[in-house]
A and B are shown apart, each in its own frame.
Chain A
Amino acid sequence: MYYAGIDAGSNTIKTVILGEEGIASYHVIKTGLGGEEQAARCLEEACAKARIGREEIACIYCTGYGREYLNFPQGRKSEIICHGVGVHWILPEVRTIVDIGGQDSKGIRLNERGEVENFNMNDKCAAGTGRFLETMATALQVPLEEFGACALRATEPVRVSSTCTVFAETEVISHIARGKKRDEILLGVCQSIVDRIAAMVRSIGVKPPVAMTGGVAKNPAVVKLMGDRLGLPLLLPPEPQITGALGAALMARQDILSRQNSQPALSG
């Protein structure tokens, strides 16, 4: 039996297909204009990778900002709960998650059962999120995938002081004009993300071990700087972008199993 979790985020849609043996496949696509069609496409792609037909999926759960607009899932859960469930399944020892997604960042604290004990997230500003990083990558003409590695080559960050994505872009452009080294500016951008969200993460009462998830966890400079700021090494799931979708798939599985009067199976 298969289960699917879809994380319809602001920037990307992620789908995870869960089989009896674990993750059967996953797929990530740009949200674009979003909506049902794009989410359905992401699901179809994930099914194709798993070499299954959509009809073989027993239950679909959805999370992320787009979850309210999708008609086909049988269940909807907030991304905070889903990230908790997903991370706990991969890294059961983790007690705190720093999740930085397309336009939000979250601190989530878990108990030993993977249940959310406390959380916080940014309210209304895209500084300190993946969108901020994307804007800066465009301004500095660096592929997003290389952003972190380039930043880590710098020894000293250039200070990017603005808390506003738009103004920070202007600030970065002025640094370029003044001849500052690109890698130092990149490191400064990563530093500003950490500056922006570290206090928010700390406000939940950080308990080790800490894992980082979300698309920004693919940036090794942000991961390193965040670890330095929290004074702890950060654990990374093998694919940090899909933990929300994985959590949704696990909850879909739990839904079916509990309907069959079976024990919940959120771990291992």
Chain B
Amino acid sequence: MTTTAPKKKGRALNSSYEAAIVLKEYWEGAARHRAEGRPVAWVSGNVPIELFWALGIYPVYPENYSAVCASIQRAQELCEEAEERGYSIDLCSYSRVNLGIVLGKGVDHPDLPYGGLPRPDMLVTTRIPCLPQVKWWEVVREFFDIPMFVVDATMVDLPIRESQRQHYLGQIRELIPCLEKKLGVRFQEDTFLETLKLSDRAAEIWLELLDLRTAVPSPVGSREMCGNVFPLVAMLGNPRTIEFFTHLRDEAKQCVQEGKGALENERIRLGWDNIPMWYNLKFFSDVEDRNAIFTYETYLRYVWGGRMDLNDPWTAFADKHLDVWLNYSINQRVRTLLHDIVKFKLDGLVFHQNRSCKRFSMGQRDLAQVIQENLGVSSLFIESDMADPRAYAEAPTRVKMEAFLEMLEGKKS
């Protein structure tokens, strides 16, 4: 018989409520920066973000904005705006939301969250997470008639080779004068190194926080943590990020020391692979009714905010950007997951086959197979999308998830 334990109300960590404030500050800061006539660049995942903060260029993340729109159930209408203009439903939903805004309502439409997106002076992207990003940016570049810079990187199988590092750094050495020339800013190495310190400090605290989630019971689940990650994406080098993450880490640490978990009766520990369904973060907390918790995510651990050895800052800066999940070979992903499943004491993995993100989704079956063969840990696959709710089928997904939990309960009993 299905047993339902009393679920804890609200957030497991009170500091998680601060996430919405930080997010609002970031978007309001972007609007203010624009209004004051200072330069704004639109950037994408894994761009060398610290450079922008150090140069006084506001890095605006349309990907995050698409995720925000999804989380408040506005993504579908914006996707449809893009689809009306001939952009296929098979394209990345982050890009469709953004193109729906750019080509449809307009970036400063008052109806949009946070009053819209500040217009860009320049576009910077990288091939590390994906290739469609480059094509998406080309449409935006043509619309605004502004410069665009693409940073290339080779796929890595750790450790990173010197040639891979130099390939990446060569482009950063081109990017800096390009930003100076196009946006009228001046690069100062001292300021940049100071920004790197702030970035690394934030990453250090974030990783400590994630490591606290190896504890049984886990202090905090994925629903909250996905809401907390944003400053690690867009605000590395900003002291506010350190402040927020310190609050989270300290609170989680206290919970672990007191043996207090996010669930009263944690029975099953789960991991998640891929970008979450931003319009349906409730998916993560729904399993809590069955005493299961998502306590690990590849997305939160290996996509953003790696550590840097600042004794050799340029090498560390390059390595940090190359050493990310979306730039790993399958072999590297396998090694990483096998290690982490043991470390986080996971009973099962849920792979989100994300229709939008091919880079994240390719190779997931191989990962599941190796995990099963090596550790006897089972996986579940759900097909959906990170921002477009039309790709999510509630009833069959619930059936799958329930069956998966029943299967894991059976294994444990």
Contact = CB atoms under 8 A, between A and B. Distances in A.
Contact of A118 (B372, B384, B393, B410): B372
A13 interface: no
A81 B406 contact: yes
A109 to B, nearest CB: 10
12 contacts: A75-B1, A77-B2, A80-B407, A81-B407, A104-B399, A118-B372, A118-B378, A119-B407, A123-B382, A124-B383, A124-B393, A205-B372
Contacts of A104: 396, 399
Nearest to B407: A116
Interface in A39-85: 65, 74-81
A203 interface: yes
Given A65-B395, A122-B396, A124-B383, A74 B378 contact: no
Most chain B beta carbons < 10 A, residue from A79, A119, A123: A123
B161 interface: no
Nearest to A75: B1
B226 to A, nearest CB: 22
A65 B407 contact: no
B397 interface: yes
A78 B399 contact: yes
B396 A121 contact: yes
A120 B403 CA distance: 10
Contacts, number: 61
B1 A121 contact: no
Contacts of B410: 81, 115-116
Interface in B369-386: 369, 372, 378, 381-384
B400 interface: yes
B24 interface: no
Given A75-B2, A104-B396, A124-B396, A119 B365 contact: no
Nearest to B393: A124
A145 interface: no
Place the interface of chain A in its size category.
Answer: 20 to 34
B402 interface: yes
Given A76-B2, A124-B393, 19 more contacts: A76-B1, A78-B399, A78-B403, A78-B406, A80-B407, A81-B403, A81-B406, A115-B407, A115-B410, A119-B404, A119-B407, A120-B381, A121-B396, A122-B396, A123-B384, A123-B393, A123-B400, A124-B396, A255-B1
B411 interface: yes
A117 interface: yes
Contacts of A123: 382-384, 393, 396-397, 400
Contacts of B404: 119
Nearest to A78: B403
A4 to B, nearest CB: 15
Interface string A70-113: 00001111111100000000000000000000001000000000
A156 B393 CA distance: 36
A20 to B, nearest CB: 22
Given A75-B1, A75-B2, A116-B407, A65 B378 contact: no
A65 B395 CA distance: 8
Contacts of A203: 365, 381
A137 to B, nearest CB: 24
Interface in A202-218: 203, 205
Given A76-B2, A81-B407, A121 B395 contact: no
Given A75-B2, A115-B410, A116-B407, A65 B381 contact: no
Closest 7 CB pairs of A and B: A80-B403, A124-B393, A78-B403, A75-B1, A123-B383, A78-B402, A116-B407
Contacts of B1: 74-76, 255
Contacts of A119: 400, 403-404, 407
A255 B400 CA distance: 23
Contacts of B395: 65
